[in-house]
Amino acid sequence: MTYASPHRLTPEEEGGPEVDVIVVGAGNAAACAALAAREAGAGKVLMLEAAPEAEAGGNSTYTAGAMRVTYEGIDDLRQLVPDVPDDLVAVTDFGSYGADAFFDDMFRMTQFRTDPELVEILVRQSLPTLRWMREQGVRFQLSFGRQAYKVDGRFRFWGGLACEVWGGGPGLVEMLHAACAKRGIEIRYATPATDLLRDDAGVRGVMVATPEGRKAIRAGSVVLACGGFESNAEMRARYLGPDWDLAKVRGTRFNMGDGIRMALEAGAMPHGHWSGAHAVGWDRDAPAYGDLAVGDNYQKHSYPFGIMVNANGERFVDEGADFRNYTYAKYGREVLRQPGMFAWQVFDAKVLPMLRDEYRIREVTKVTANTLEELAGKLEGVDPARFLQTVRAYNAAVQTSVPFNPAIRDGRGTEGLALPKSNWANTLDQAPFEAYAITCGVTFTFGGVKVSDRGEVMDRAGAAIPGLYSAGEMVGGIFYHNYPGGTGLTSGAVFGKLAGENAGRHALSLQTA
Ligand SMILES: Cc1cc2nc3c(=O)[nH]c(=O)nc-3n(C[C@H](O)[C@H](O)[C@H](O)COP(=O)(O)OP(=O)(O)OC[C@H]3O[C@@H](n4cnc5c(N)ncnc54)[C@H](O)[C@@H]3O)c2cc1C
């Protein structure tokens, strides 16, 4: 990373702002920032999107739209999803997910490193922010499909994640962009910001690349909400480490770390887990970047019900250590560490009906067999003899006396294995057997810039850089090591709204100064 100085305004570029607020990016965080800036009174808000219109919306478009939010019960959820039928409520255990539970998850997942000031905002503002999104035109539904199991006739939500956006990521981006259009916010596509404009008073706009050449756009304030560096192989290798350049990218190809670079060049303080990233088990033959036609379905998240083996035929993680919401984001890194950077997930007939929808797509790398011996010969790249030994040892260790229950941490584990499986252990002994090949798919990077409790980008001396705000993936200090599912969109919305409000106010204060 070079720490060059940002573009200084030339005499021709000097002058008052052309727009009040520029938001760099057009994903969830950016759109929330733009809407909040407008609501705060900024008359002219412009969003700049590096991608062409057909690929706009960043990683937010690739998501399933799951959003982690605090709730004390169905009454809170009804603030987001008012039309849940009473007969469905009667057969569902929604449980509760209060602020304490969200804090506990964030502390536990990040090994107590999450920035206390930022996590306080994230957790406390989650429900008010989703309510505000609803007012802006975003519609939510309850996540019965992916986050609840039906046991003994009742649905039970199991992972603190009861809410998702109607229409998933594409629905979210469509509704947010429609809300922006309604409020007169322009999105300029295929227009990447390349540099910040800066003078002694602070940030004064951005330089953009256009087909006609580079151009300055002056603004009262700038919100950088243009993602992390996950799409950039060079930066992944540099910051995440060896072999991360070879990981597949789950989402957009446009998050190249531009915003982080621009902010650092303007003197921003780096913050958070720069060598950390959210990464999952992802189809071994998936394309290099995400494919919007497939969305997040290259992921393979039913591993808690089976086992995963590497090229040596050995298990390498506790597949049942916790609910998948709390392990999936760190297990991609474990797959990357295996010889050849791949693994096979193996299931038997008992659990096949429970596999998530993503196992039934056309674009899947899968083998089936009627015996374990036959399966061993079909697991490309795996030592068959060692695989069979692993399965025999595993089968013998499963505590079959403990009842299996996917809706709770059932404690049905293994006994006596050096690497245990702690929950949901089932023997692999009923044909047909199925196995799925995965590699590491990187979702987003954790390192970024430090922001204040007003969304201002902080400099290395601890002062806010006037006129510069940030939100979304490029905010550092929130996630370390791991991540509770559904928090990225919530974080983008909470900090996007915060940054947008304050960027709007800053721009207005310049007008009255
Ligand atoms: C497959 C997949 C599934 C996921 N599922 C979920 C989920 O269900 N729930 C959840 O909470 N999170 C999920 N995530 C994570 C989530 O996508 C991110 O945390 C969140 O969307 C980040 O929002 P953002 O606005 O910061 O970034 P993005 O949505 O990536 O937006 C960044 C924007 O900046 C633009 N940009 C980049 N560089 C420039 C530049 N120089 N100039 C102008 N524009 C630029 C990009 O084109 C893009 O529009 C998932 C991610 C993926 C990839």
Judged against a pLDDT cut of 50, whether residue 397 lies above it is answered with yes
Nearest to 252 by CA among 441, 55, 470: 55
Predicted pLDDT at 211: 85
CB of 456 closer than 6 angstroms to any ligand 1 atom: no
Reported confidence tier of residue 494, pLDDT bands at 50, 70, 90:
very high
Tokens of 249: 């990218």
Average pLDDT over residues 359-373: 97
Question: H/E element holding 262?
Answer: helix 258-265
pLDDT of residue 12: 60
64 backbone dihedrals φ, ψ, rounded to 5°: -90, -5
Residues 6+ apart with CB under 8 A from 230: 59, 236, 249, 251, 255, 277, 442, 443, 444, 445, 473
Reading the block at residue 479, the tokens are: 């996630």
pTM of the model: 0.96
Q: Is 247 exposed, middle or buried (0-12, 13-18, 19+ CB in 10 A)?
A: buried
pLDDT of residue 152: 84
- C-alpha 227 to ligand 1 mean position (Å): 6
Please give the average per-residue pLDDT across 474-497, as a whole number.
Answer: 97
Q: Is the CB of 193 under 6 A from ligand 1?
A: yes
Q: How far is the CA of 484 from the centre of ligand 1 (A)?
A: 16
Residue 217 pairs in a beta bridge with 206
The protein residue with its alpha carbon nearest to ligand 1, atom 50, reads 63
Task: Examine the pLDDT at 3 and tell me if it is beyond 60.
Answer: no
Backbone φ and ψ of 389, nearest 5°: -60, -45
The answer to whether 185 and 137 are in contact (CB under 8 A) is no
Tokens of 202: 């602070």
Residues near 2 by beta carbon (within 8 Å), at least 6 away in sequence: 261, 265
Sign, CA torsion 338/344/348/349: positive
Instruction: Say how many Å lie between the CA of residue 375 and the centre of ligand 1.
Output: 38
Alpha carbon nearest to ligand 1 atom 42, residue: 192
pLDDT of 4 strictly over 60:
no
Among 35, 59, 248, 473, residue to substitute to test ligand 1 (most atoms within 8 Å of Cβ):
59
Which residues have a Cβ under 8 Å from the Cβ of 509 and sit 6 or more positions away? none
- Model pLDDT for residues 309-352, shown as the tens digit of each residue: 999 999 999 999 999 999 999 999 999 999 999 999 999 999 99
Express each pLDDT in 274-313 by its tens digit.
999 999 999 999 999 999 999 999 999 999 999 999 999 9
CA of residue 155 to ligand 1 center, whole Å: 31
Note the pLDDT of residue 2.
37
pLDDT at 1: 37
347 is written with which tokens?
A: 């299931």
The whole-number average pLDDT for the span 21-28 is 98
Name 361's Cβ contacts closer than 8 Å, sequence gap at least 6.
294, 297
Asked if 443 contacts 280 with a C-beta cutoff of 8 angstroms, the reply is yes
pLDDT at residue number 16: 77
Q: To the nearest whole number, what is the mean pLDDT of the chain?
A: 95
Structure confidence at residue 5 as a pLDDT band (50, 70, 90): low
199 alpha-carbon distance from chain centroid: 35
| pLDDT for residue 149 is more than 60 | yes
- Helix, strand, coil percent content, the chain, rounded in steps of 5: 35, 25, 40
Alpha carbon distance 181, 500 (integer Å) = 16
Q: Which of ligand 1's atoms lies nearest the C-alpha of 173?
A: 29
Residue whose CA is at the smallest distance from ligand 1 atom 12 = 488
For the Cβ of 492 lying below 6 angstroms from any atom of ligand 1, the answer is: yes
CB 344 within 8 A of CB 335: no
**pLDDT tens readout for residues 207-241:** 999 988 999 999 999 999 999 999 999 999 999 99
Alpha helices, DSSP H only, in 323-463? 328-336, 372-378, 384-397
Q: What is the pLDDT of residues 80-123, one digit of tens each?
A: 999 999 998 889 988 999 999 999 999 999 999 999 999 999 99
Q: Look at the alpha carbons of 108, 112, 114, 116 in this order and tell me if their dihedral is positive or negative.
A: positive
Q: Which of 184, 269, 318, 298 is nearest to 456 (CA)?
A: 269
**Residue 134 burial (CB < 10 Å; 0-12/13-18/19+)?**
middle
254 C-alpha to ligand 1 centroid (Å) = 9
Share of residues in the chain with pLDDT > 90 (%): 89
Q: Is the pLDDT of residue 473 over 70?
A: yes
Asked whether the predicted pLDDT for residue 144 surpasses 60, the reply is: yes
pLDDT digits (tens, 9 = 90+) for 446-462: 999 999 999 999 999 99
The Cα–Cα gap between 42 and 34 comes to 9
Closest listed residue to residue 71, CA positions, set 7, 165, 161: 161
Give the per-residue pLDDT at 145: 80
Phi and psi angles of residue 25, each rounded to the nearest 5 degrees, phi first: 120, 165
Q: Is 143's C-beta closer than 6 angstroms to any atom of ligand 1?
A: no
Ligand 1 in contact with 226 (CB < 6 A)? yes
Work out which ligand 1 atom sits closest to the CA atom of 56.
49
93 Cα: distance to centroid of ligand 1 (angstroms): 32
Burial class (CB in 10 A: 0-12, 13-18, 19+), 371: exposed
Looking at residues 142-169, what average pLDDT do you find?
Answer: 87
Q: Is 66 in the pocket of ligand 1 (CB under 6 A)?
A: yes
Residue with tokens 């090229």: 311
